[in-house]
Amino acid sequence: MELRRILLATSNPKKAEEMKRLLESYSFQVEIPKEEIEVQEGGSSFLENAFIKAQAYYEKYRMPTLADDSGLVVYALGGYPGVFSSRFYEHEYGGKEEVKTSKDEANIRKLLRLMEGVKDRRAKFVAFLVLSLGDAGYWSMGECEGIILEEPKGSEGFGYDPIFQPEGMQKSMAQLKPEEKDAISHRGKAIRNLVKIIAGGRGYE
């Protein structure tokens, strides 16, 4: 099928900007929802949550809908924040963190507190995408390995980017230019994998 117009199932403007930039590089026409839908992300995995979001937005807008669920997996914390990444500050694991300036800042502050004195700082960003066509669809994933820094660095990106240093680099994700981040990020890999799958290919990064 000819698939060129895609609706993004997200209310996060920074995530929408990043996904739009990546998809438009493949000549997709990207639509942003006119209104946010309240979606209960009660899934136990990134894939399940992405599916829930994609279906909810498809049911309302009736057009091919792409949803992303992604987060940070820290090995020394048994996989946390994981699916709770966006709201880790209020999760019971490790104690709740007060929001002083933003939720992102509270999440980072909590994670750094839990990582104090921890030698194993390995972590990875994980992204799962679901493209809903109603009664059919596609899914893909991407990962970016790295380590947790001891303090935030950089002002680009969003979420945990300031404290995540990708493998093989000496900069945090938040110190990378958009095109540098897109080339190695979990979301960049997931979108490139999805494009290959839609085209009928089986290549995977």
pLDDT higher than threshold 60 for residue 1: no
The residue whose two tokens read 């991407």 is 142
State mean pLDDT over 6-15.
Answer: 89
pLDDT higher than threshold 50 for residue 192: yes
State mean pLDDT over 23-35.
Answer: 90
In the prediction, which pLDDT does 2 show? 58
Whole-angstrom distance, CA of residue 151 vs CA of residue 149: 6
Residue boundaries of the structural domains of the chain: 5-198
Local confidence band at 149 (pLDDT 50, 70, 90 cut-offs): very high
State mean pLDDT over 128-141.
Answer: 94
Local confidence band at 200 (pLDDT 50, 70, 90 cut-offs): confident
pLDDT higher than threshold 80 for residue 8: yes
68 part of the active site: no
In the prediction, which pLDDT does 13 show? 87
Q: Which residues contact 139 (CB under 8 A, 6 or more apart)?
A: 47, 50, 51, 128, 129, 130, 131, 194
In the prediction, which pLDDT does 186 show? 97
Number of H helices, E strands in the chain: 5, 6
In the prediction, which pLDDT does 4 show? 84
State mean pLDDT over 197-202.
Answer: 77
Whole-angstrom distance, CA of residue 162 vs CA of residue 175: 7
In the prediction, which pLDDT does 34 show? 84
The residue whose two tokens read 């839908």 is 37
Tokens at residue 114, please?
A: 């839990």
State mean pLDDT over 113-141.
Answer: 96
DSSP one-letter string for 55-69 = HHHHHHH-S-EEEEE
pLDDT tens per residue across span 34-45: 887 888 777 889
Catalytic residue among 68, 69, 161, 182: 69
pLDDT higher than threshold 50 for residue 83: yes
CATH 3.40.50.150 fits 5-198, yes or no: no
Picking from 32-36, 43-47, 124-128, 134-138, which range would have the lowest pLDDT averaged per residue?
Answer: 32-36
State mean pLDDT over 14-33.
Answer: 91
Tokens at residue 162, please?
A: 């300031």
Round the average pLDDT of the chain to a whole number and report it: 93
Other beta carbons less than 10 A from residue 13's beta carbon: 10
SS3 123: strand
